[in-house]
Chain A
Amino acid sequence: MSTLHDDHLVRGVDHAAFPTFDPAGTVRFYRDTLGFPVVHSICAAGWGPEDHPDFIHFFFDIGNDDRIAFFYYFGLEQPESLGKGDVYARFGPETPEFFVRSRHLAIHVDSEEHLLEYRRRLDGSTWPVEMQIQHETIESIYTHDPNGYMVEITRALRPVTPQEDLDANLTIDALMDIADTPGAGMAELLTRKAELIVERAQAWEDDQADRREVRASPEGPVHA
């Protein structure tokens, strides 16, 4: 049996890819404004079964060796649709703004100073920051790139604590339990989650205390 079965093996985002009809604007935004280096590009044609124009696939480094990538298809007509959204997906005026904004890419920075440096770069460009918001434990700036994709740059206000991981897992387990119940809402979720807290929270805290003791022991853990 492989020793990898229980391991979390993935290592971040290789690339997240989006189509563009404005490659020059895209390069001006990501490379020239934000300063994300171009790190890779592919000139290809559609050789597969599908009829496919020639295209350029190009990549920007978003730090941590992760990349954001774009496809530019020569001669492809931009779908003619009005409405809210971006070049990939548009919605009618009845679609609420929070829904349109829900799908976005958030890029991490380490400090307020770094966040404000990106704010400075954007504010001096054609794509100024549209919002700067403090959420529960993060602070973010937002703008839309030349393709209409919402881009968030975010910093943590403090490190994530272990109990937040527990809490997230209890939330998701509660959601799994109630999501298929017709009409279930937040009240049902919080009720189910309270049951899970009663079941598991004390055992989790005892386990954390044991771990702290092992770490604090001068001889370290004893192995039989």
Chain B
Amino acid sequence: MPHYRTGLIVPSSNVTVETEMPALLGTHPDATFSFHASRMRMKQVSPAQLAAMNAQRERCVLELGDASPDVILYGCLVALMVAGPGEHERVESLVAEQLATGGSDAKIRSSAGALVETLHDLGARRIAVVTPYMKPLAQQVVDYLEAYDLDVADWRALEVEDNTAVGCIPGDDVMAAARSLDLTDVDVLVLSACVQMPSLPLVEEAERELGVPVITAATAGAYSILRALGLPLALTGGGSLLRQDAPVPVPSI
């Protein structure tokens, strides 16, 4: 079975990427994954700290490059989206250039780019979004998605600024926010537009209860990684998005 080294660039206060990505990708039937994180110092999700964090990106790429990863995920969605449309393409290409200049074959994806990629691949036009951010940052995330031809029909901001606290938001709060959304004619629900807000255990349940495809920044990240590596979408527990290539279970007679 092929093995893939997955580099993760995460804010120093993030704990969820390193929990949810292994939980998801570890269910793949045809491949094994190891995870190698490098951290950018950041505790408060404020514009000043996000800018300071981005300056640490090159060091993180250097550290991960030494481990010869197959793919790297830049795991801070809001840090890219606050810079405005086009930022995930810009940052992904800068990292790609940095890797290629040093002779690394690693692919680079970002959670921000992965969310856009996933929504486009699903053919989504009208979406609803739950975020943990303060309202002004949440509005910037909504504006970013709308710049990519996505109509954000309804959205919620849980207004948690401390990033450690974001990692501890109870699933009930996330689900309550999702239930309060107007999902009329919505193609896809983004249950967590943040890789730090825990949401993976909620995805399957939310799809059953709300009757729409449900994705999160983490499931979109896993989707983008599988696509980058050319692997089938055959994961368990990440919702319909990540089961598309899984064998259909034969009903027992």
Contacts and interface: CB of A to CB of B under 8 A. Distances in A.
- The short answer to whether A and B are in direct contact, CB under 8 Å, is yes
Interface of A: 42-50, 52, 54-55, 57
Interface stretch (B24-32, B34-42, B94-102, B209-217): B94-102
A48 B62 CA distance: 13
Given A44-B98, A44-B102, A45-B65, 5 more contacts: A43-B58, A43-B59, A43-B98, A47-B104, A52-B102
A47 B95 CA distance: 14
A49 B102 CA distance: 10
Contacts of A52: 102-103
A54 B66 CA distance: 11
Contacts of A50: 103
Q: Chain B interface secondary structure, helix, strand, loop or mixed?
A: helix
Nearest to A50: B103
Given A42-B98, A43-B98, A54 B62 contact: yes
A47 B62 CA distance: 9
Q: Chain A interface secondary structure, helix, strand, loop or mixed?
A: loop
B68 interface: yes
Contacts of B99: 44, 47
B58 A49 contact: no
21 contacts: A42-B101, A43-B58, A43-B59, A44-B62, A44-B65, A44-B102, A45-B62, A45-B65, A45-B102, A47-B65, A47-B68, A47-B99, A47-B106, A48-B102, A48-B103, A48-B104, A52-B102, A52-B103, A54-B62, A55-B102, A57-B101
Nearest to A41: B58
Nearest to A43: B58
Nearest to B99: A47
B56 to A, nearest CB: 11
Nearest to A44: B102
A82 B60 CA distance: 40
B68 to A, nearest CB: 7
Contacts of B68: 47
A42 B66 CA distance: 16
A147 B59 CA distance: 28
B65 to A, nearest CB: 5
Contacts of A57: 101
B98 A46 contact: no
Contacts of A54: 62
Contacts of B106: 47
Contact of A46 (B58, B59, B97, B102): B102
Which 3 pairs from chain A and chain B are nearest by CB? A48-B103, A44-B102, A47-B104
B62 A46 contact: no
Query: Most chain-B CB neighbours within 10 Å: which of A46, A47, A48?
Result: A47
Nearest to B101: A44
Given A50-B103, A52-B103, A57-B101, A45 B58 contact: no
Nearest to B68: A47
Interface string B89-119: 0000000011101111010000000000000
Nearest to B103: A48
Contacts of A47: 65-66, 68, 99, 102-104, 106
Contacts of B101: 42, 44, 57
A55 B68 CA distance: 17
Contacts of B58: 42-43
A173 B37 CA distance: 59
Contacts of A55: 102
Interface string B49-93: 000000000110010011010000000000000000000000000
Contacts of B65: 44-45, 47
